[in-house]
Amino acid sequence: MNEIALLVAATLSSGTPLAIAGLGLLVNERAGVLNLGAEGMMLVGALAGYAVTFHTGNEWIGFAAGAGAGAILAAFFGWLVIWLHTNQYATGLAVSLFGGGLSAYLGAGYVGQKLGEHPDLSIPGLRDVPFLGPAAFDQHLLAYLTILGTVALAWMLQRTRAGLVLRAVGENPESAHALGYPVRRIRLLAVVVGGALCGIAGAYLSVVYAPLWVEGMVAGRGWIALALTVFATWRPVRLLLGAYLFGGVTMLQLHLQARGVQVPLQFMSMLPYLATIVVLVLISRNPAWIRLNMPASLGKPFYPGS
Amino acid sequence: MNEPIRELALEGITKRFPGILACNRVSLEVRRGEALALVGENGAGKSTLMNILAGLYQPDEGSIRVNGEVVRFASPADAFDRGIGMVHQNFMLVPSMTVTENVALGMKALHRRIRLDLKEARRRVLEVSAHHELPVNPDAPVWQLSVGEQQRVELVKTLCLGARLLILDEPTSALTPQETDDLLDRLRRMMAELSIIFISHKLNEVKALSDRVTILRHGEVVFHGSTADHSTAELAALMTGRDVVQPRNEQSGAPGREVLTVRALRVRGDRGNLALDGLDLDVRAGEILGLAGVSGNGQRELADALAGLRPVESGSIRLDGAEIAHASPRRIIDGGMGYVPEDRHHEGIVGPFSVEENLVLKDVGKAGFSRHGFLRPGEIHRNAEELRERFDIRCSSTAAAAGTLSGGNIQKVILARELARGPKALVAVYPTRGVDMGAAEFIHGQLLALRRSSAGILLVSEELEEVMALSDRIAVIYKGRILEVLASRDATRRTLGLLMAGVPLG
């Protein structure tokens, strides 16, 4: 019983960074921009978050720094693909590699350093409820904010003017342009928001989840977050559930390893990634499903006339 | 509500794009309650001029006056604020959104601070649609609507945003004859409250709707005057700069054996629906069979199936007696099928390849264009020069990338390649869609020449004039079946229009 509660808690905890990054990517993909640089943005966010938390002792300033670092890298990406019309795929890959290299170089001095103690953020009272307490109410505040944020984003996309404009820019930028909306600025804003959220996700990993800094510590989560947007067919709530699913698979394999199940370690570590591939294959079996939900101009450059 | 537009004037508008002078000191004016037709061939500068008026482009020189006051439109929002709204040729709707959402997207004044007031937008849609008799379903997602319905949505949207001057860019290019008449009717009634600028190259519609006409050629105004005082032939000559004689099928000669026989053909569309559901069709040697119909009734699937590009569910297709229903495109091509596809840029040519290379794409493995797997550039070049001459392909050189040519010239490249192979049957899908009058005239002449050489031609078109002028017989396709086959001389616009709308002959 207690073991399951811990597994649930670990699932929420490991799903949270995937969800934060995935929601960010969802925003910029809804605006029609595909940023394959998620991994790089998460890494610079992770380093900035770790370093600032280390020096200030305040993890919220650390998260802000992570957001800022991700946003700056995303803004650079946005300028390249939106104004200079560089290829989104190639530029995203470059950002991914660049972020990895930069964070490794700048972060060398932080490897092996220790952060101070976490403040205990679990919710008094609820924390002591049997099973549910340890399972659901012993998380970092960001985990709850993520759930709130998911609902807020879903509402924003469907029920607000900003959401309507954002979707229009991703579906048919020409029509948004013809109505007088500044398509490129809206896209840049969406990309920056996406980068900031990826940065926060990275900072969550290094400050809360690990908590430590090691080169390449994001370990492919940026790629999984990208796959999650497709998995979720660009819907926030589905994305959150998908993130917990992948978080759960990751945790399950660690758990099985710990119990000494006789399967090679390497195979177990593959599980979350295999799950990614399997889910993508299953979803792609119905091409209409993807085609109807995918932002119609995703990955395509927009050239305003003259 | 915006102030009415009593008078709108463009004065000396010049617009340059890299390498092109799109508009050269163009002036025109529209008064309240008036319809101005803006006429010209492709590339004459009509759309550029109207995009300037709608705030999408900035002019390099010249000015715009509304009610005597000089205005500058930095973006389409500024033009809307002045009451100028444009309905673009390729509609500016977001397919995944509902009609109401599409309208709400543009209604900036109508929103509460953050929350989207879809109820109010929906109310406006219904109000405008009732007032102008433009029926639309506010809750339908746009992708489910027909082209005619989408156009009504565009009109409603533009009117909801407060347009007092409507710019319509080739509004009838995708409509059925009935829808076209219907639209012209509605527009005529709207003119009590609005002014209209109407871009077109269909001169009968220009005659039917407009009070005055301005003709552009190569970016300059070549004529301006009252529509009623000039015949369509005069306007056509002014538009092209020469007399235009559209070739016609004289219907001489008896048709021969059947070269293309389709029986009980069933083919699925992209969404898995049965796009062709038991279609029968015969094309004989030495005839042009026109296939009329509103696009989306199975034409694309039929053309794809005939060319071997789409799997056949069941049924039979015979090309000169040989079964090709499940054959590969290669076998169909070798069997003597010529194909002019609907999407000429993607299926008809390989854009980055040169004109020369495109002209031998289907025969590169034989006929002396290669030897032991090596290309023979000399032969390929000689072939291209010959076809360029014969098919009047206008390009700087046959080494130029085919994708850089104009639509009409790309179509001539495709036609040259297909006809040079001496096909037994040719499937031509919307062969003159979007090409200008001169190129259309040439393409029509070539189709008739091919007919005289005893090939069977299936001409898929939604232009009734084209179908009626060229065909020996006309088949009308509706919902994946042939509804009726008429001898061309018995067909009228009215009967064809009714058939295209699915009404069988009584």
Q: What sign for the dihedral angle of Cα A90, A94, A95, A100?
A: positive
Closest residue to B95, CB basis, from A171, A178, A182: A171
Looking at residue B44, the DSSP 8-state letter turns out to be S
Distance CA A50, CA A206 (A): 6
- Diameter of chain B measured on Cα atoms: 74
Range B154-179 average pLDDT: 86
Distance CA B52, CA B59 (A): 6
Distance CA B139, CA B235 (A): 43
- Tell me which chain B residues have a C-beta less than 8 angstroms from the C-beta of A182: 75
Q: Is the model's pLDDT at A167 over the cut of 90? A: yes
Q: For B111-144, write each residue's pLDDT tens digit.
A: 556 778 888 899 999 999 999 888 999 999 998 8
Distance CA B498, CA B500 (A): 5
Give the ipTM of the model, two decimals please: 0.83
Distance CA B427, CA B303 (A): 7
Residue B476 Cα, gap to closest chain A Cα (Å): 30
Whether B396 is covered by a domain: the verdict is yes
Whether B194 is covered by a domain: the verdict is yes
pLDDT, position A252: 85
Looking at residue B30, the DSSP 8-state letter turns out to be E
Range A44-73 average pLDDT: 96
In A160-235, alpha helices (H) = 161-171, 173-178, 183-204, 221-231
A165: amino acid identity, one letter: V
Residue B77 Cα, gap to closest chain A Cα (Å): 4
Closest residue to B58, CB basis, from A162, A172, A306: A306
**β-bridge pairing B481-487 and B473-478:** antiparallel
Q: Are B418 and B398 in contact (CB under 8 A)?
A: no
Q: Mark residue B19 as left, alpha or beta (left: phi above 0; alpha: psi -120 to 50; beta: remaining).
A: left
Distance CA B480, CA B266 (A): 8
Q: Are residues B264 and B307 in the same domain?
A: yes
B246-to-B125, B208, B437, B439 alpha-carbon distances in Å: 43, 21, 9, 11
Q: Is the model's pLDDT at B367 over the cut of 70? A: no
Strand partners, B474: B290, B486
Tell me how many residue pairs between chain A and chain B have CB atoms under 8 A apart. 76
Read off the pLDDT band of A305 (50, 70, 90). Answer: low
Read off the pLDDT band of B245 (50, 70, 90). Answer: confident
Q: Are residues B54 and B174 in the same domain?
A: yes
Q: Are residues B287 and B422 in the same domain?
A: yes
- Tell me which chain A residues have a C-beta less than 8 angstroms from the C-beta of B97: 164, 167-168, 171
Closest residue to A161, CB basis, from B57, B77, B114: B114
Distance CA B324, CA B335 (A): 9
Q: Are residues B200 and B277 in the same domain?
A: no
B87-to-B131, B167, B168, B194 alpha-carbon distances in Å: 19, 6, 5, 14
Domain extent, residue B234, equals: 7-240
pLDDT, position B136: 92
Q: Do B271 and A288 touch (CB under 8 A)?
A: yes
Q: Is B392 exposed, middle or buried (0-12, 13-18, 19+ CB in 10 A)?
A: middle
Distance CA B74, CA B55 (A): 6
Report long-range pairs for A259-263 (Cβ below 8 Å, ≥24 apart).
none
Number of structural domains in chain B: 2
Percent of chain A at pLDDT exceeding 90? 60
pLDDT, position B109: 61
Q: Is the model's pLDDT at B105 over the cut of 80? A: yes
Range B310-327 average pLDDT: 94
Q: Are residues B337 and B412 in the same domain?
A: yes
- Diameter of chain A measured on Cα atoms: 66
CA dihedral B296, B300, B306, B309 (to 10 degrees): -140
Distance CA A55, CA B262 (A): 78
Rg (CA), chain A: 19
Q: Are residues B268 and B183 in the same domain?
A: no
- Tell me which chain B residues have a C-beta less than 8 angstroms from the C-beta of A177: 56, 76
Q: Do B94 and A171 touch (CB under 8 A)?
A: yes
Give the CATH number for residue B226: 3.40.50.300
Q: Are residues B157 and B226 in the same domain?
A: yes
Q: Are residues B135 and B231 in the same domain?
A: yes
Q: For B445-496, write each residue's pLDDT tens digit.
A: 999 999 999 999 999 987 888 899 999 999 999 999 999 999 998 999 889 9
Interface mutation target, options B48, B84, B91, B94, chain A, most CBs of A under 10 Å = B94
Q: Are residues B263 and B236 in the same domain?
A: no
Residue B19 Cα, gap to closest chain A Cα (Å): 13
CA dihedral B180, B184, B189, B192 (to 10 degrees): 140
Q: Are residues B278 and B224 in the same domain?
A: no
Give residue for tokens 């795929």. A89
Q: DSSP 3-state assignment of A211?
A: coil
Q: Are residues B232 and B318 in the same domain?
A: no
pTM beyond 0.80, yes or no: no
Distance CA B348, CA B341 (A): 6
Q: Is A162 exposed, middle or buried (0-12, 13-18, 19+ CB in 10 A)?
A: middle
B251-B255-B257 Cα angle (round to 5): 165
pLDDT, position A195: 98
Interface mutation target, options A161, A167, A186, A290, chain B, most CBs of B under 10 Å = A161
Q: Is the model's pLDDT at A306 over the cut of 50? A: no
Distance CA A137, CA A127 (A): 5
Closest residue to A305, CB basis, from B51, B105, B271: B51
B106-to-B55, B157, B209 alpha-carbon distances in Å: 15, 8, 28
Q: In the sheet where B84-87 sits, what is the strand order?
A: B84-87, B165-169, B195-200, B35-39, B212-217, B220-226
Q: Are residues B221 and B282 in the same domain?
A: no
Q: Is the model's pLDDT at A118 over the cut of 70? A: no
Q: Are A19 and A229 in contact (CB under 8 A)?
A: no
**Top CATH class, A2-293:** mainly alpha
Measured between CA atoms, the residue of chain B closest to residue A295 is B96
Q: Is the model's pLDDT at B369 over the cut of 80? A: yes
Q: Are A226 and A38 in contact (CB under 8 A)?
A: yes
Residue A227 Cα, gap to closest chain B Cα (Å): 22
Q: Do A164 and B101 touch (CB under 8 A)?
A: yes
> Of B206, B240, B274, which residue constitutes the final position of a domain?
B240
Whether B79 is covered by a domain: the verdict is yes
Looking at residue B109, the DSSP 8-state letter turns out to be G
pLDDT, position A122: 62
Q: Do B93 and A296 touch (CB under 8 A)?
A: no
Measured between CA atoms, the residue of chain A closest to residue B111 is A161
